[in-house]
Amino acid sequence: MPGTSEQIARLREEGLAALAAACTESELLAAKGRFFGKKGAVSEILKGIASLPAEERKAVGAEANRVRAELEAVFDSRLAGIREGERLAREGRDRLDVTLPGRALPPGHRHPISRTMSDIIAVFRRLGFSVQGGPDVEKDYYNFEALNFPPEHPARDMQDTFYVESRDGDLVLRTHTSPIQIRTMEKTRPPVRIIAPGAVYRSDSDITHSPMFHQVEGLAVDRDITFADLKGLLTEFCRMTFGPGKPLRFRPSYFPFTEPSAEVDIRCVICGGSGCRVCKDTGWLEILGAGMVDPAVFGFVGYDPEEYTGFAFGMGVERIAMLRHGISDIRLFFENDIRFLSQF
Ligand code: PHE
């Protein structure tokens, strides 16, 4: 047998190296089995002791036991080290610090069109008007016919109508909120004082037109309602919406359901009337269409035109929001770009 004490010294070196190289608990256990477990190399040496000359036995036995004890001590401390490392890794993964403040969700806010609509509604409610609604998919009868557009009237083309396929071919996406005038008068008797806000649809798209936009309709019917009442109401509406000192201008116009009809301009809110890009150097901005209810419309709802008169108006909500906020492209409202929307 080659020098047993050299063998033990080599086992010690190899055992220490194997323990140092082990990275996991099972690698560590494998090293233990190989070198100093019950059937490990050190045990084999101890078993062979009997065949050694008597004077060597004691020294070899003591040396083998000392090496086994040393390897066991190293094993224990490596095992503790590996377990600690695994614990730390696990904690890093599952770390939960209950003292951290919560992450606040940034609060959203209403869309500028929805806000402008609410503001317009609030002004008219204060002036004694109640709110009515109607369907977005509307009958041709309400959108056109009862509003005194005859079937082949060219104004139907002017409206850039979206027609909806249906059995009777009589459905459209409403092109304005005026059908709510008819729906309201069909179910109530005068006096009528209503506004009707809602989405409307026209096949039209550029920097000042969007295929879907919003209007607020107004209708007042009673005995002795005159054009002066319309002017007074709209003047007050503009004062409450745009502030004092903004004169209005009524320009003659045409709608089949009002007579006389007018388009109403407000003094340019950007330049104050001196002329700018927004008002195209006219000093005025168009904000709505209006007029006295045409007696023919009363005929469709069974109101006596000898007894009652009324006025109606319809304003574009996007238009008013653009003027209030100095926005030059209507499409910004519908692109959902947070950088735009968060400014309001
Ligand atoms: N409905 C018209 C439009 O959309 C506006 C209007 C409403 C005009 C009421 C007169 C009276 O253009």
* Probe target for ligand 1 pocket from 178, 209, 214, 286, with the most ligand atoms within 8 Å of CB: 178
Amino acid (1-letter code) at residue 239? R
pLDDT computed for residue 183 by the predictor: 98
**Secondary structure element (H or E) that encloses residue 323, with its range:** helix 317-325
How far apart are alpha carbons 91 and 70 in whole angstroms?
Answer: 32
How far apart are alpha carbons 12 and 20 in whole angstroms?
Answer: 12
Two tokens at 315?
């304003």
pLDDT computed for residue 2 by the predictor: 54
pLDDT computed for residue 158 by the predictor: 59
134 to each of 118, 137, 247, 271, how far by Cα in Å?
A: 17, 9, 32, 37
pLDDT computed for residue 120 by the predictor: 96
Sheet with 248-255, edge to edge strand ranges: 130-131, 192-201, 212-222, 309-316, 284-293, 258-267, 248-255
Q: Which of 315, 97, 112 is nearest to 200 (CA)?
A: 315
Residues 273-332: pLDDT tens digits?
A: 898 877 889 989 889 999 999 999 999 999 999 999 999 999 999 989 988 888 878 889
Comparing 63 with 293, which gets the higher pLDDT?
293
Is the N-terminal amide bond of 247 cis, ω within 30° of 0? no
Residues 65-120: pLDDT tens digits?
A: 898 889 899 999 999 999 898 888 888 877 778 888 888 888 889 999 999 999 99
190 Cβ inside 6 Å of ligand 1: no
Q: Please name the residue whose Cα sits nearest to atom 3 of ligand 1.
A: 176
193 Cβ inside 6 Å of ligand 1: no
* Probe target for ligand 1 pocket from 153, 255, 319, with the most ligand atoms within 8 Å of CB: 255
Q: Which of 215, 212, 217 is nearest to 333 (CA)?
A: 212
Confidence of residue 262 (pLDDT cuts 50, 70, 90): very high
Q: What is the DSSP string of 191-242?
A: PEEEEEEEEEE-S--BTTB-SEEEEEEEEEEETT--HHHHHHHHHHHHHHHH
CB atoms within 10 A of CB 85: 12
Q: Please name the residue whose Cα sits nearest to atom 12 of ligand 1.
A: 289
* Probe target for ligand 1 pocket from 161, 174, 176, 192, with the most ligand atoms within 8 Å of CB: 176
Q: Which of 65, 37, 216, 28 is nearest to 129 (CA)?
A: 216
pLDDT computed for residue 219 by the predictor: 98
Residues 17-35: pLDDT tens digits?
A: 988 888 888 899 998 888 8
pLDDT computed for residue 204 by the predictor: 84
Two tokens at 337?
């770009």
CA 212 remoteness from chain centre: 18
Residues 168-227: pLDDT tens digits?
A: 878 999 999 999 999 999 999 999 999 999 999 999 888 778 899 999 999 999 999 999
| Beta strands 137-139; 212-222: pairing state | unpaired
Q: Is the pLDDT of residue 55 over 60?
A: yes
CA of 219 to the centre of ligand 1 (A): 11
pLDDT computed for residue 235 by the predictor: 92
- pTM above the 0.75 mark? no
pLDDT computed for residue 104 by the predictor: 87
Are 210 and 113 in contact, with CB atoms under 8 Å apart?
A: no
32: left (phi over 0), alpha (psi -120 to 50) or beta: alpha
Comparing 13 with 205, which gets the higher pLDDT?
13
Q: Is the pLDDT of residue 45 over 50?
A: yes
pLDDT computed for residue 153 by the predictor: 81
Two tokens at 294?
């045409």
Average pLDDT of the segment spanning 255-261: 96
| Planar angle of CA 2, 6, 10, nearest 5 degrees | 115
pLDDT computed for residue 1 by the predictor: 47
pLDDT computed for residue 154 by the predictor: 76
